[in-house]
């Protein structure tokens, strides 16, 4: 899960990394209030999860409230490489003497952490890696040993930062490493890490990606979820804990298991239709999970029919059928439903469903027949 710059900076601040005072704003008025609180001059920064915001006009210095109004007005709503800006971060502007690069990530093949530090910051690290690979000091860190102060200092010296930056950089890198490990991140990056004319070292940007596998021990991440989701359907599904990806078609798809959900999307295509989504309800097809899935699909206005494709493995056919029947009691569904139920105790499951069949609830024995029927129904209702 990727964070916005302002969220990354909030995380950094919790670990004691110096960042500038600032505030997030969704309107021009809020931006002015944030600027007054931070103190002029300020920098107004587009909050989108894509690099190169500066070049795209998404980062502007502002000396007073009129400047903030002008720049926030231009940046809010701006499209940066396909990302529409709905928030700006306004922070007290820094004076820059030098710009560095620092990051920690995982070196999967070495099964170790990898720190990268460069005196050439402010530009994308990929560019530095390509044009001047020797300008990046790499440090492999054994997760068991962690990062000691002497090792960190030697690394900073190897990167040949301005000696005036050494102490500040060592301090920040130790804290950044702590934020990376303790915060369960996959990546923490500061670009640029700056040295000010007064000799202070400071994080001017923040890029953080959190490891979703650690979600269970971070209840505080709940408030971060959804912020990066632009699709309202995906937002709703994520809140219900469903594996959902919105697509462009009109056949709503529900399947158990990611492989079957993909195969279901494929077969809808194969018979000439287009899936409205990918939705994997996972192992157990309980009534509540099924009701949640149906609700998400039902709220998608482009859906014209629903294809439920379940292969009973550990979950038995009759449990799945009962789950579907109970879910239909809970949610009133606008589109006709086609069900293909196979696997363990499929016969018993189909027998239960047959008691509820109508022109709005059809059961088909094979995937391809079910897909054809769902696509025909969607076409008839378009």
What residues act catalytically?
Answer: 101, 189
Nearer to Mn ion, 135 or 331 (CB): 135
Nearer to ligand GDP, 122 or 343 (CB): 122
- DSSP state at residue 160: T
Which range touches Mn ion (CB under 5 A), out of 163-171, 202-210, 212-220, 307-315? 202-210
Task: Find the binder of ligand GDP among 73, 122, 282, 343 (CB under 6 A).
Answer: 122
Q: How far is the CB of 15 from Mn ion (least distance, A)?
A: 19
* Tokens found for residue 135: 């300008």
Helix (H, G, I), strand (E, B) or coil at 201: strand
Q: How far is the CB of 51 from ligand GDP (least distance, A)?
A: 5
* Tokens found for residue 100: 């560095």
Task: Find the binder of ligand GDP among 24, 62, 93, 378 (CB under 6 A).
Answer: 93
Q: Does 91 bind Mn ion (CB under 5 A)?
A: no
* Tokens found for residue 276: 């409205």
Nearer to ligand GDP, 191 or 292 (CB): 191
Site for ligand GDP in 147-186 (CB under 6 A): none
Q: How far is the CB of 270 from ligand GDP (least distance, A)?
A: 42
- Find which of ligand GDP, Mn ion, none residue 68 binds, CB within 5 to 8 Å per kind: none
Which parts of the chain are beta strand (E)? 22-25, 42-46, 59-62, 79-80, 83-84, 88-92, 98-107, 112-118, 136-141, 185-195, 201-203, 207-210, 243-246, 251-255, 277-280, 305-312, 337-343, 361-363
Task: Find the binder of ligand GDP among 17, 43, 137, 165 (CB under 6 A).
Answer: 43
H, E, C per residue of 339-378: EEEEECCHHHHHHHHHCCCECCEEECCCHHHHHHHHHHHH
Q: How many residues does the chain have?
A: 382
- Find which of ligand GDP, Mn ion, none residue 53 binds, CB within 5 to 8 Å per kind: ligand GDP
Residue 361 C-beta-side C-alpha neighbours within 13 Å? 17
Which range touches ligand GDP (CB under 6 A), out of 94-102, 181-189, 237-245, 361-369? 94-102
Which range touches ligand GDP (CB under 6 A), out of 93-101, 267-275, 297-305, 333-341? 93-101
Q: How far is the CB of 30 from ligand GDP (least distance, A)?
A: 19
Q: Does 54 bind ligand GDP (CB under 6 A)?
A: yes
Task: Find the binder of Mn ion among 5, 205, 318, 319 (CB under 5 A).
Answer: 205
State the DSSP H helix or E strand holding residue 332, giving kind and residue range, or none if neither. Answer: none
Site for Mn ion in 170-199 (CB under 5 A): 191
> What is d(CA 53, CA 34) in angstroms, rounded to the nearest whole number?
20
Closest by Cα among 370, 252, 236 to 304 = 252
Q: How far is the CB of 320 from ligand GDP (least distance, A)?
A: 48
Nearer to ligand GDP, 93 or 287 (CB): 93
In the stretch 253-272, what mask flags binding to Mn ion with x, by CB under 5 A?
--------------------
Nearer to ligand GDP, 115 or 121 (CB): 121
State the DSSP H helix or E strand holding residue 323, giving kind and residue range, or none if neither. Answer: helix 317-330
Which range touches ligand GDP (CB under 6 A), out of 45-53, 142-150, 158-166, 284-292? 45-53
Tell me the DSSP string of 261-316: HHHHHHHHHHTT--BSEEEE--S---HHHHHHHHHHHHT-TT--EEEEEEEESSS-
* Tokens found for residue 236: 């709703």
Binding site for ligand GDP (CB under 6 A): 43, 51-54, 59, 93-94, 96, 99, 122, 191-192, 204-205
Interface residues toward Mn ion, by CB under 5 A:
191, 205
């Amino acid at each position: 899960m990727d964070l916005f710059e302002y969220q990354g900076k909030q995380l950094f601040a919790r670990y004691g990394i110096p960042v500038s005072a600032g505030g997030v704003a969704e309107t021009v008025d809020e931006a002015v209030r944030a600027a007054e609180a931070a103190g002029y001059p300020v920098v107004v920064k587009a909050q989108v999860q894509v690099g190169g915001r500066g070049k795209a006009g998404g980062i502007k210095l502002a000396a007073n409230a009129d400047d903030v109004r002008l720049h926030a007005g231009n940046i809010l709503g701006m499209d940066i490489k396909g990302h529409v800006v709905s928030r700006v971060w306004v922070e007290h502007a820094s004076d820059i003497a030098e710009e560095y690069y620092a990051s920690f990530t995982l070196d999967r093949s070495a099964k170790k952490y990898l720190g990268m530090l460069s005196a050439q910051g402010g530009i994308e690290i990929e560019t530095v890696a390509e044009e001047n690979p020797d300008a990046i000091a790499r440090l492999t860190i054994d997760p068991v040993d962690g990062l000691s102060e002497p090792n960190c200092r030697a690394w900073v010296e190897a990167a040949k930062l301005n000696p005036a930056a050494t102490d500040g950089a060592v301090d920040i890198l130790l804290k950044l490493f702590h934020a990376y490990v303790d915060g369960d991140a996959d990546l923490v990056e500061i670009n640029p890490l700056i040295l000010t004319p007064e000799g202070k070292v400071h994080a001017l940007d923040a890029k953080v990606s959190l490891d979703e596998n650690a979600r269970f021990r971070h209840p505080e991440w709940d408030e971060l979820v959804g912020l990066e989701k632009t699709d309202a359907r995906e937002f709703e599904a994520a809140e219900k804990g469903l594996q959902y990806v919105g697509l462009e078609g009109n056949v709503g798809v529900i399947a158990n298991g990611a492989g079957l959900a993909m195969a279901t999307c494929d077969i809808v295509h194969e018979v000439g239709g287009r899936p409205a989504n990918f939705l994997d309800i996972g192992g157990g097809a309980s009534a509540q999970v099924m009701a949640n899935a149906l609700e998400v699909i039902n709220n998608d206005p482009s859906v014209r029919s629903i294809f439920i494709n379940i292969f009973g493995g550990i979950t038995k056919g009759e449990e799945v059928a009962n789950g579907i029947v109970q879910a239909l009691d809970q949610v009133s569904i606008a589109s006709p439903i086609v069900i293909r139920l196979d696997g363990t105790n499929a016969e018993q499951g189909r027998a239960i469903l047959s008691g509820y069949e109508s022109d709005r609830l059809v059961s088909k024995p094979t995937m391809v027949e079910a897909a054809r029927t769902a696509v025909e129904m969607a076409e008839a209702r378009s």
